[in-house]
A = this chain, B = another copy of it.
Amino acid sequence: MPTYTAPLEDMMFLYEKLRNNKHYNEIEKYKEITTELVKDVLQEAAKINQNIILPLAKIGDENPTILENGVVRTPPGYKEAYKKFIEDGWQSLSCDPKYGGQGMPKTVSAFFDEMLSSSSLAFKLYTELSIGAYNCIHHHAADHIKDKFLPKMVEGKWSGTMCLTEPVCGTDLGLLKTKATEQSDGTFKLSGQKIFITSGDHDLTENIIHLVIARTSDAPPGTKGISLFLVPKFIVNDDGSIGSRNGVSTGSIESKMGIKGSATCVLNFDNATGYMIGPKNKGLNSMFTMMNLERIVVGIQGLGISETAYQNSLSYSKERKQGKSNNNKSNNGADFIIEHADIRKSLLNMKSIIEGERALCFWLSQQTEVSLYHKDEKTRQEAADLVSLMTPVVKSFFTDMGMEITSDAMQIFGGYGYTKDQGIEQLYRDNRITPIYEGTNSVQAIDLVFRKLVNKNGSIIDKYISLIKKETSIGEDKIKPFIEKLNKSIEKLNRFTEWINEKMKSSKDDVSAACNDYLKVLGLIAIAHSWIKVLEVSFKDYEKNKKFYEEKIQTANFFFNRVLPRIESHYLTATSGSKYIMDFKFN
């Protein structure tokens, strides 16, 4: 079974030294949150993850969630762990105190999301979608709905889902068929089938609050005729008590490659009572509030699993002896494999990506909070634009890198990595869903290039690049070589963006065939930018914590030398156009 120790030092480093977004620090409600409090929270978070959640990973993989006589049963130990999880208040960490939450900012809760992902993604999903549903209800529902449903969801006694996908529509929600018929009392009756519903049914909570997109009988076709409904598994009485079973049943659960502890359900809605959330026919907008936040969390899943893969590869490399390194240090003929340049390269590749991603994610958490809670509307909007730009990048890049890192971890373990014993192959299988769900990574790339680079507020990508340029324009001599490399990469990105803008007019297919490469280039630059910010502190505070900062500098050096140059091939291949791709017959 993999081991895991929460990277508290790195997290606290970010929290203390990189929390320098002026607008974030102006948010009134977070002013009371002290560094000491955050440290305490993260230390407790580390404990429950390392001691209670981590062991659930293997258990869930070996005893997948099952559907038995219409009841979904989670793996052994899940119930007890979930009980402890909500009793200790982890479900309410980031929720509104008005409904019983602890009101922690994403700068803290994102670290908790990472730890949970590192420990057991399958278990995490039961808690994660509830937060997604909570966010959506919190933003869009009427007060009486919020008062009725949110306190129990914040407490964790009830959980939530997002019901979007249907057999014929995943990416393309305009095709959906589920119908909602209005009743004389203003409620709706929903009928239809939803598939791939994470935590769609289970035995952890007393009730499950489904957020379902469907069409009313008079809805226009396509995405403009979709409304959002709250459909509880059990009807909730006016006094808040649980009433009769609603018309929602579990048709089957999926047998999957990984995250086997997670219940991925086919849900059948048969005249199920639902309550409309937000305005009619605007359901996709409401759902996307939740989807976007959720997409960032999926990126964090990739980061979290990568961290566990890295930690275990590192310790295995220090235990396993094979072959002589070039600087043979052993007398008995074989060195620890960590002495081999190729293994070290692989470990540093992981570390430089993981720590860069964590720093980027911390930056994004601050921007997200500003976008939601800053008092000035313009400031909120500017932050929201940056968040919308970075959301598909974080989702795709972190999850793709998660595959690279878990795969490299398997290679380090060799044959042992392929067997079930070590649990490394499970990290690889579990992470493999992350580039798929919440919109495949290709769909994210299309979203980025066609919808996020430019919006009604102008060129968001230009604003982002200006921000990087501004933030990296000063710096002491030692940091200059890094900034020069970043600037070269930015030049390439700018050329790429110009190419995109040009082709957007003349050949959209060229753009479509370039989206994935563009996303990767932007992801690499965003992480390089984050590393520059880490380096600034590292050089400035070097003497205060030599060992820590020396590691940071060396790891950054690896990133700029060995990871960032991937940009070259992406740019070269993408700008070769698409005529020969579109002309191909595929007969």
Q: Which residues of A contact B (CB under 8 A)?
A: 165, 168-172, 174-175, 195-196, 221-222, 254-258, 264, 314, 317-318, 321-323, 325-327, 333-334, 338, 340-348, 403, 407, 410-411, 414-415, 417-421, 425, 428-429, 432-433, 435-437, 440-442, 445-446, 508-510, 512-513, 515-516, 547, 550-551, 554-555, 557-558, 561-563, 565-569, 572-573, 576-578, 580-587
Complex Cα spacing A410 to B547, Å: 42
Residue pair A573, B578 in contact (C-beta under 8 Å): no
A154, chain B: closest CB distance, angstroms:
29
Contacts of A510 in B (CB 8 A): 341
Complex Cα spacing A582 to B169, Å: 50
> What's the number of copies of this chain in the assembled complex?
2
A425, A441, A515, most chain B CB atoms within 10 A: A425
Smallest CB gap from A400: residue in B: B407
The listed residue (B346, B565, B582) touching A572 by CB distance below 8 A is B565
A135, chain B: closest CB distance, angstroms:
23
Complex Cα spacing A313 to B223, Å: 27
The listed residue (B257, B347, B581) touching A345 by CB distance below 8 A is B581
A199, chain B: closest CB distance, angstroms:
15
Contacts of A407 in B (CB 8 A): 403
| CB-CB nearest 8 A-B residue pairs | A341-B512, A561-B576, A326-B508, A257-B425, A569-B569, A565-B572, A341-B513, A172-B322
Complex Cα spacing A325 to B512, Å: 9
Residue pair B561, A566 in contact (C-beta under 8 Å): no
A225, chain B: closest CB distance, angstroms:
12
> Please, could you name 17 A-B residue pairs with CB atoms under 8 Å apart, sorted by A?
A170-B414, A171-B322, A175-B333, A221-B333, A256-B418, A257-B420, A327-B582, A342-B442, A342-B513, A348-B581, A348-B584, A403-B407, A411-B441, A414-B436, A414-B440, A554-B580, A561-B580
Complex Cα spacing A323 to B321, Å: 52
Residue pair A342, B515 in contact (C-beta under 8 Å): yes
A178, chain B: closest CB distance, angstroms:
17
Contacts of A586 in B (CB 8 A): 314, 317-318, 338, 344, 347
